[in-house]
Each structure stands twice: as structure tokens, then as C-alpha cells.
Chains A and B, each alone.
Chain A
């Protein structure tokens, strides 16, 4: 039988959750070589919103947790195809070309074309979590062996019971890319080509554009972008670059083990230092938790000694 019982309403749990949620932020970048092109991302985001829904089976459901992209840059680098002139047949024959002109290439090598897309604020996405409460006992690694509970409190290295939200699953929904994403990509491609050819006279740029053909189509073909750029971006980030898996892992790790929903000092302080007297504290021998659809209940069993 427990000696202490503390119940928190769903609203109170929500408040606790908000505190944990607001401490979460991510800043990550990565790139992968896909052969015909390289692609990468540079992202930063935090979490906002979200509703907490306690379940009778002891689960905690968190829904509509918005990913707020502080930074969402996607970049791709491609080699534009060799651009050469000449190579025409000088003397043809029924068996093929007998004499052929040399091909002279505009570039020394296949040039890189770097496309940089700033998509911050253009992606709507959210996270859902189904979790179970997880209690663990934390012993501060900075606390020396044999240190008394009183000294540990003075040194701020007291032991703690910690309550985490341990996700059974985390789901990320990428709802929508803003309509202007396609235009942004086309602009980025044209800008990249202009940067590459910036020092050439207008007629030379025009000729190169003519030989390359519509460069936007060319780059889209190399990057294997079909008709649906939203799908391509989601696949690139989510599947090819594994960003969404990374987000899921980071979120799950954060809630499951990095930042507790609740932290209870052990021994639990009842009365602080007062008038030269040492504080009064109660050792928590055991701590249990139950959840129903209305509240979360913590039940503590006190120990015999500190």
C-alpha cells in the first residue's frame, strides 16, 4: 500500500508536457551522393502545439504536435551534361563517317551546378506520439560514492525519480508543401546557371542555353523530378536522405530519455533548512504510476531509512 498518492489532471499533464516540448530543438545537416547528383539538407526546427490525451489503457497520446521549421534548406548538386561543339561529319560514306571534326568542349570538365532551396516556412508537417509512462531512478554521475543525502542536496546532485514519456511509436505527417515550391526550384536552377556563366557575353549565354535546351527541364530530368515536386521533395527528404526517420528518432530519444516530464527528488523534501535545523526529507522506496482517461496518478511508498 502506498504512503503518498498524487494525481494530475489531463490539463496538468499537458502543462508538464509543454515544458518538455519547449526544450526540444534540432539543428542537423547531411548530404548523400546519389550518382547523377548529390543532395542534402540543412534543417533546424522546434515543436509547437500538440494535445495530450490520456487513455484508459495507460497510454499517453500526443497529437497535432507541429514541426516549426526554423531552417529548411535543401540543396542539390549536379554535373550538367558535357557541352561540346563540332564533332560533325566532314566526309560521309555509305559505311559511316570517314572523317569527323573534333569536338571542342565549352567546359574543361562537367561543371557543377549547385541548387540551393530555402524552404523555411513552406512545409506543413506534424508529429503524433503514442507513449507509455516510464519511471526511472536517476543517480547523478557527479555524485561521489558514499556521499550523504544531505551533502548531495547541498551539492545539487541528489538522486531523482524521473517520469518520462516513452514512445511506442512516433509518426510524422508531411501534409503540404506551399504552392510556390515549384517556382522556387525553377528560380534556383536559373540562378545557378547564371552564376556559372556570369562572365560570358549575352550571346554566348544564349547559345549555351539553346544547346542545353530548357535548363529547368534538363535539371529536373537529372534530379528525376516528375510532375509532382511535392512528392519528389518528400521522397528526397524522407526516404532518400532519411530526414523524417531522423526526426522520429530524435523526438523519440528526447522524450524517452533526455528530458523527463516530471522529476522528484529522493529523498523527497518535506521541510527545508530552518533555524539551523537540517531539512526534513522522506525516502521514496517505490514509485508507481497509473493513467486513466482523466488523470495520471503517482503513488509512492516510503522507505524506512534515508
Chain B
């Protein structure tokens, strides 16, 4: 058996919280119980829906929903008489649990909107839209290609450079360091440049962001041998972190 390589992991240069790909994900905390309908689209076109039932009865503190896999599964179920059962599109989550949305394969482009269907004991309806993130949402990404990136949120006019340093094969297997956690507020204040190693995770708390786009700009700029500086001086390196320590892998 010759396995297929997930080439999109290595060819993608633009990452968008509103168009999920294998390298990134969004998280929404479901603070209130009730039933929610999630509508999944791809590149703007509606694909399928599923239900998330949030209740204190359910043990799951986290559900990770692979939108690419669900795409194949649910669309097949719609087209054919599958043996998926009546609840094949129902997912359960504990109250105050987290819904994580990602796409494990393919070229991605998925977005998801969550609407409440019912609210058993909720005071307010809850809406999640991966193209318009809100304060408690999280956006995560794992950048593989070394070089310089630009993180921006056009709506809020936030920009931040990201530098991903190359990792060389060594005598021991490389294990990426703990993910870097940042929020918009700290980035805006310092105008920081985020520094990552290849395959190190980056988690952005979306306080102040609404749609995060990260674009690959260039390979790592060569150091000027005479001055010891790079052609394009980095912004003041002030990486803000809202949760750096105690991370368990």
C-alpha cells in the first residue's frame, strides 16, 4: 500500500478562519444548553447541516467536527439509504463544552454557521459564524512552511507579522514546542511580530478579531552579513500571550 500524502498541507499559502483547511480550526464555546443547527458551506455554497445537542446530561466536553469527513459522510447519507441510523447527523456536547470545527483533508474552504433550534433553559440565543468570529471564539493554526507571514483582520484593521523559523533534522525527532497563545488586544498594542517554529501551533483568542486571514509572504529573508540585520527589520518583538504556561501535550 502506498499512502497518499496530504499535499494541501504543504502547498497552501493562505489561511482563513472563514474558509477552514487542514492546517487551521475554529472553536466555539457552547455556554448554553439547547439544540443547535450547524450549516456547513464550502466556498460560499451550502453543503449540509447537522445538529449539536448541548446538555448537562452529555459527558463530552469537546466535540471535534471534521467538516471534510462529514461532507463526504452526510452528503452520501442524504443521497442514499445509508445505515447511519436516525441520529447520524446529531452530535452531543456537555453544557459549557467546546465545539471545534476543522477540515482534515482536501483543499478545504469550509465555513460553519450555528443557529439555535431550541433553548431549554437559556436566556439568550447563541449564534456562531466562522466567517465572523466573536469574543470567546478561538482560531488555531499550524504553520508548516518556514518564512514570513502576515496575519490580518481587515474589518478591525489589525495586522501582525509572523515569522516561522525553519527546523533542521537533528539527532532526535523534532517535537514542536507548546502552542503560542495570543489575542488581538496584545497584538494591537505592541504591533508585535509573532515568532514560531515550524509545526508549532498558534491559537488566537478572537477578542477584537472577526475574520482572521494569514498569508504566506516570503521565505525567510537572508541576514545581511555586514550588518547582521535582515533586509526588512521586524516589528518590535512583543509577543503577547494570554495562556502560555501549564500546557500539557
Contacts and interface: CB of A to CB of B under 8 A. Distances in A.
Interface of A: 85-92, 96-102, 104-112, 197, 199-201, 203-204, 206-207, 209-214, 218
B5 A101 contact: no
Interface stretch (B118-126, B170-178, B187-195): B170-178
Given A88-B249, A107-B3, A207-B199, A102 B173 contact: no
Nearest to B61: A98
Interface stretch (B20-28, B38-46, B109-117, B225-233): B20-28
B43 to A, nearest CB: 20
Contact of A92 (B22, B201, B247): B247
A108 B168 contact: no
Interface residues of B, number: 49
A107 B1 CA distance: 12
B10 A201 contact: yes
B47 interface: no
Contacts of B166: 203, 206
A210 B170 contact: yes
B248 A212 contact: no
Contact of B3 (A92, A110, A199, A206): A110
B62 A86 contact: no
Given A99-B27, A100-B62, A90 B138 contact: yes
B210 interface: no
Contact of A210 (B5, B138, B174): B174
A213 B172 contact: yes
B62 A211 contact: no
A108 B176 CA distance: 21
Contacts, number: 130
Interface of B: 1-7, 9-10, 22-23, 25, 27, 61-62, 64, 66, 98, 100, 102, 104-105, 138, 140, 142, 144-146, 166-174, 176, 178-179, 198-199, 201, 203, 243, 246-249
Contact of B198 (A87, A90, A105, A207): A207
Contacts of A99: 27, 61-62, 98, 100
Contacts of B169: 206, 209-210, 213-214
Given A111-B3, A112-B2, A207-B199, A104 B172 contact: no
A201 B23 CA distance: 17
A88 B178 contact: yes
A90 B167 CA distance: 23
Contact of B4 (A100, A107, A200): A107
B248 A92 contact: yes
Contact of B201 (A88, A97, A110, A197): A88
Nearest to A207: B198
Given A100-B62, A206-B169, A85 B203 contact: no
Nearest to B171: A214
Contact of B140 (A90, A206, A212): A90
B170 A104 contact: no
A292 B248 CA distance: 81
A101 B201 contact: yes
A109 B23 CA distance: 18
A203 B176 contact: no
Given A90-B203, A97-B248, 14 more contacts: A85-B176, A100-B62, A102-B66, A104-B9, A108-B3, A108-B5, A111-B2, A199-B7, A200-B5, A203-B145, A204-B144, A210-B170, A210-B198, A213-B173
B25 A102 contact: yes
28 contacts: A86-B201, A89-B179, A90-B179, A90-B203, A92-B243, A92-B246, A92-B248, A99-B61, A99-B100, A101-B201, A102-B64, A104-B142, A107-B5, A107-B6, A108-B4, A108-B105, A111-B1, A111-B3, A112-B1, A199-B5, A200-B7, A203-B146, A203-B166, A206-B169, A210-B173, A213-B172, A214-B171, A218-B173
